[in-house]
Structure 1
Amino acid sequence: MKGSLKLMTACSLTLAVASCKSLPADMLEGEWNAVNISGQSITPSDQTPYLGFDMTEGRLYGFNGCNLLMGSIDTKAFLKGKVDFSKMGSTMMACPDNKYEQLFTQAAAAARKLELQDDGSLVLKDENKETVMQLAKRVFAPEALDGEWNVIQIRGEMISPAEDTPFIGFKVADNQLYGFTGCNRMTGTADFAKIVAGEPDFGKIGTTRMACADDKYETKFLQALNAAKKVKMGYNTFSLLDEKGSTLLMFQKR
């Protein structure tokens, strides 16, 4: 996914946040790259720290420049501009080029206030109302989907990697998709501009007609794929959601 991410402002509208009773959940939803931490500008790269907010499930996730982050958020307080990231969990990898992790972790732990700016950026402030971090909404280019993606979750059921693990692959330049249902091969077309914009436009998908003795994934996978109404892009992941916003399928880049 290198080089496939672009930073853009979340909107062009002026947001009178200070006078609003609550922040717009749909604008906070998604992933935000750190562009400045404690006064230090962050150069965009694969090591760029980011925070992600799942407002439907009250979930917080991210990357501090070395380790993945996870936690929960109080959505009611969050929408009022109040934050507390001090209890985030993380993986425990040691990274040789660890130039952002400590800086990011300290700034996130100090954050107590959240503000949306007129340019669509997100600012975190400490208890003294000093800016500790500025973030810009991460927007995905269609090329972010290129390659193969393993299914890691079907309707809440975690899928362990194995020979019969379903996957989907995309050839963005050719508007083609292919994959494996857990039993049969599949091929089809897709509109990738619509997919990264949140609309699961996969066109017609065809499959081979093999009969498999242990069909533990195929039916569930195809039913979930056909029921998808929304797409949520993530860092090395994407999810297909139903019309209510519940996760049907989650994929991880191979």
Structure 2
Amino acid sequence: MKIGLMGAGAIGQYLLKHINGNRENHMTVKSVFVRNIEKYKHLEETFHVKLFTDIHEFLESDIDIVVEATNIETVEQYFHTIIKEKNMMSISIGAFSDDTLLKIAQESDSHKLYLPSGGIGGLDLIQNARALGNIDTLTLTTRKPASSLTEEVLSEETIIFEGSAKDAIAKYPKNMNISIILSVAGIGTENTKVVLVADPTIDKNIHNIEVSGEFGQASFTFVNDPLKENPKTSALAALSIYATLERLEDNIVIG
């Protein structure tokens, strides 16, 4: 599989290291789309890739799939162009909060959109429960270090947001991507409840998911270590992209 990577930040360079740095890997990153070639010029020699700043030249290069590791704004800007030409995998899930881009992907005749699970799991159960409309409630409670959410000095945990996933991503676009992938797998952004807690006593992100319906009840808790290359990024989020890419070529599909 020949990959075109969008973005060369912490997750992008993690993927370059673990994909192109693994000689036994059946995947390879061939092209990288960046805003500033000079800033990332060293990646060409280190990982044997070609850099692009023009989206059309990038899409015309020797790639099978586009893997996006940038931000919501970049996805919104280029999604229409990409999905017409290539399959796409996106980590900036917040771009799909209003369903507009999801509908474009659903109506595509020839290309697919892949959304990795990011810093959580259990999405297979939620999709299974949703299959016949059997989800009654779906709640995500996210606890993050207080310093990552507010400049105010807190002495105890404080709920700083409680509402729908749609409102959560609008107010905290850099912190609530997980709420959107959960909503897409489940009952939509308007029906998924989100509670965001600033906690001065923790140094990791903690996500708790509770779902109930005709199938019964389930709960999941995830305590995420940060990516070594960037403490603001979940290690599991980077792993989810790599693992999803690997599964695309598996002959055995689980779940």
TM-score normalized by the length of structure 2 = 0.28
Give the structure with the larger strand fraction.
1
TM-score (norm 1): 0.28
Structure richer in helix, relative to its length? 2
